[in-house]
């Protein structure tokens, strides 16, 4: 099935962090605090999706409170850090909002995302995802992780729903 047909059904976005919202590089400072770099264009799209009433969630194996603070600053409330079992986190999200799997787009980039990608209605990944993840994704972004792949997905869904580039949305 053409992924564009599935876009119309999406009400919920779920993202991994490392390799999706970041390029996967983790710099560790002398105090052992890990530093990640986020893309501002992804940030704009994430906060816009929240404002437009879409469910936006993060399920990551990482445990950085700085990452959580960044995501909360975008209006994202549903954040699972240290998720060793991403399926359990997804099931909790589904239960919280009475969601249907076919309405969920998930973007992941590596093996820990494999199971969850096989469950959701629209499994997606960045261009530079692991081959195993690319092989099961219905949409592969033309952008690498950390370089606008989240925005790419969100923009497509919002455009199909008539929620992109509205006058009231042209400011942050």
> What pLDDT was estimated at residue 41?
96
Which of 5-14, 62-71, 78-87, 159-168 is the least confident region?
A: 159-168
pLDDT per position as a tens digit, 51-65: 999 999 999 999 989
Residue-wise burial string across 135-152, b where 16 or more C-beta atoms lie within 10 A, e elsewhere = eebbbbbebbbbbbbbbb
Are the CB atoms for 56 and 33 separated by under 8 Å? no
Residue in the block written with tokens 């995501």: 71
CATH of 9-164, picked from 3.90.199.10, 3.30.420.40, 3.30.365.10, 3.40.50.1000, is 3.40.50.1000
> What pLDDT was estimated at residue 171?
63
The backbone torsions φ and ψ at residue 15, rounded to the nearest 5 degrees and listed phi first, read -130, 145
Instruction: Please tell me whether residue 60 adopts helix, strand or coil conformation.
Output: coil
Domain boundaries, the chain: 9-164
Which of 26-40, 61-75, 110-124 is the least confident region?
A: 26-40
Neighbour count for residue 129 (Cβ, 10 Å): 27
């Amino acid at each position: 099935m053409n992924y564009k047909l599935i876009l119309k059904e999406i009400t919920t976005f779920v993202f991994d962090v490392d390799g999706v919202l970041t390029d996967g590089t983790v710099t560790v400072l002398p105090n052992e605090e890990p530093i990640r770099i986020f893309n501002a264009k992804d940030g704009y799209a994430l906060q816009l999706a929240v404002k437009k009433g879409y469910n936006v969630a993060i399920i990551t194996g990482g445990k950085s409170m700085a990452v959580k603070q960044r995501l909360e600053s975008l209006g994202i409330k549903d954040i699972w850090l240290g998720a060793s079992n991403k399926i359990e986190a997804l099931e909790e999200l589904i239960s919280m909002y009475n969601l249907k799997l076919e309405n969920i787009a998930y973007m992941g980039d590596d093996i820990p995302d494999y199971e969850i990608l096989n469950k959701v209605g629209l499994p997606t990944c960045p261009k530079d995802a692991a081959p195993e993840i690319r092989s099961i994704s219905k949409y592969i972004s033309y952008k690498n992780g950390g370089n606008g792949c989240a925005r790419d997905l969100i923009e497509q869904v919002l455009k199909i729903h008539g929620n992109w580039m509205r006058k009231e949305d042209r400011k942050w």
